[in-house]
Structure 1
């Protein structure tokens, strides 16, 4: 961690002392004119920037406010601290957070359109390079001073570093334009489409429609990728030519890789959904929908995997021609579970008989432990409450600001209740736990600004389950409640 912080310190020392060398992207045209390779598959920088822009508020003066506290580590955000003081982290009023490392567990909170190509690019060295860096006020981490987009590389001889040649400052104006693309074109004066001629508009609209064939319909995403210069034609070509090498019995790739009878392009569109949900008993439920009928009729299976790196499924079931459906499994609900669509492949074995194997042709998102919901603020106090799952049980996590040093005294009679439904009165909890009985987390990736305390209940996680924070024994003292599970 110290080495990583030092290397990132070099980057920000460069940014702070050589600001003139960093180009500021004032609008979408500036972004389109950059030569950065983040506009090619499987890079996720543009998708990441789109998501980020729609999770901030920009006022008329250009001040940027984040919609959540970055110090809690949600969405994979993590803070860099230069322990060697080569960059003015500790001496200034600013902190720096990095967003976009899709290998981090909390990055599972990001929507699937951001992580989609990461899951479908196999072992490409280009699939996890893009980062959004935010400079925030130390006293008010939700207030953003500057935004950068950059490129991250692992250097085996020096550890890790960022590429200053691929680092750009993102203006408030550009963020506003990205937001405007998600609204009705006649309702927002900042919408860049208002300056188009009819011919230009129709040309861009045609490209935007092509984006919608791949990515889910997220407000403004298709227009942003089109106007920012994302190479959508290359993206189609990659998937049209994609094939998975079959494996021989020793587990090594065959020298001659042949494409499966179903290409990824045959199932690649925004209607296909593969998801892990929860049964009422805390077990994983496989759900799928949007599979084309001609594909569903072929010999396919649905598999449940422990994670994207696992080769063997925990459970697998024949699709039997069903274009949509769900299956309740006996696998306890845990973070990282993933649904994959599998196709049978016959492989010669010693030239005497043929053995059937299954290869992955489509993947769903990995399950996030908190169901992609950030912590809920405890009203009036420097703390938050989050519901998450472990081994199929409902668990609660308290985020306590480190500056809230007397929290144990203030919360001496506070407790967290677990409820089966948001309709239940505060007195109808399944179980409860005193906040003083929560155990301090020893995670290495504990957020810088907070201490984390956790409690694992005996209540099965399932649709509708909710956690609530009460300040005193009185049922009317509620200060926080989480979003019900899977609502």
Structure 2
């Protein structure tokens, strides 16, 4: 990767084009699924029961490509505790301060979309987001800020484990992304901090997919 590409990537203002909550949610998703040696992604939860705020996504707006017969899209990440409250909940380091997130302008916007080849095999993975409330687009997803996630990116996230302190840091990113718009992550070669890992990962997302 060239230095110019890296510097361009480091100046992406997370919290504007991509909610910082997406970083946290994508890490959780990558470490919840299973990836075998043949690059098959195995589902480890039940989207039909609403686990992790998941439900069927009809793609009626045409944000994504149409799927072959028998395949379906699902969307994950609705942190509203009143939705899908019979399923498995997202961990606290993903949801952060629910009262803050649900009461902020961001209004629970970050989502992951995945397609199922069969009952328990994932084919494609995307991050996306709802439009801002002031854009008057309702609950549809913003195609301009929908990004396909490569399996290599998911693998990178899986090797990045979190201890309790790092989970707290990620929760803080998610909780406060609405208040930190316009700030950039700092690049520090001296330590493998969450910010370093996520910057490199999102470089792969933007330039390698």
Classify the TM-score, shorter chain: 0.5 to 0.7
Displacement of 1:80 in angstroms is 2.0
Q: Is the 8 A contact 1:43 1:117 kept in 2?
A: no
Structure 1 residues 43 and 118: CA distance shift in structure 2, 3 A: farther
1:149 counterpart residue number: 127
Q: Is the 8 A contact 2:47 2:55 kept in 1?
A: yes
1:111 counterpart residue number: 91
- Matches of 2:61 and 2:144 in 1, distance apart? 24
**Structure holding more helix per residue:** 2
Displacement of 1:179 in angstroms is 1.0
Q: Runs of 5+ in structure 2 lacking a partner? A: 1-5, 163-187, 201-209
Q: Is the 8 A contact 1:97 1:134 kept in 2?
A: yes
Q: Is the 8 A contact 2:112 2:126 kept in 1?
A: yes
1:174 counterpart residue number: 153
- Matches of 2:112 and 2:74 in 1, distance apart? 8
- Matches of 1:161 and 1:84 in 2, distance apart? 7
Give the match's secondary structure for 2:95: helix
Q: Is the 8 A contact 2:52 2:78 kept in 1?
A: no
Q: Is the 8 A contact 1:102 1:108 kept in 2?
A: no
Q: Tell me which of 164, 175, 180 is aligned to 2:143.
A: 164
**Structure holding more strand per residue:** 1
Give the match's secondary structure for 1:109: coil
Deviation string 1:453-480 (CA, Å, 9 cap, x unpaired) is xxxxxxxxxxxxxxxxxxxxxxxxxxxx
- Matches of 1:48 and 1:84 in 2, distance apart? 23
Deviation string 1:293-326 (CA, Å, 9 cap, x unpaired) is xxxxxxxxxxxxxxxxxxxxxxxxxxxxxxxxxx
Q: Does 1:68 align with 2:45?
A: yes
Normalised by the size of structure 1, how large is the TM-score? 0.29
Q: Is the 8 A contact 1:118 1:127 kept in 2?
A: no
Q: Runs of 5+ in structure 1 lacking a partner? A: 1-28, 184-198, 209-222, 231-487
- Matches of 1:53 and 1:174 in 2, distance apart? 9
Q: Which has the larger radius of gyration?
A: 1
Matches within 5 A, 1:23-422: 35=12, 37-38=14-15, 43-81=20-58, 88=66, 92-103=69-80, 104-106=83-85, 109-121=89-101, 123-137=103-117, 140-153=118-131, 154=133, 157-182=136-161, 200=189, 202=190, 204-205=191-192, 208=193, 223=194, 225-229=195-199
Normalised by the size of structure 2, how large is the TM-score? 0.63
- Matches of 1:36 and 1:85 in 2, distance apart? 27
- Matches of 1:48 and 1:166 in 2, distance apart? 16
Larger RCO (CA under 8 A, 6+ residues apart): 2
Q: Is the 8 A contact 2:126 2:146 kept in 1?
A: yes
Deviation string 1:143-162 (CA, Å, 9 cap, x unpaired) is 01000001112577553221
Q: Is the 8 A contact 1:96 1:135 kept in 2?
A: yes
Matches within 5 A, 1:435-450: none
Structure 1 residues 228 and 94: CA distance shift in structure 2, 3 A: same
Divergent runs of 4+, >6 A: 39-42, 83-87
- Matches of 1:151 and 1:85 in 2, distance apart? 15
- Matches of 1:76 and 1:67 in 2, distance apart? 14
The count of aligned residue pairs is 163
Q: Is the 8 A contact 1:96 1:134 kept in 2?
A: yes
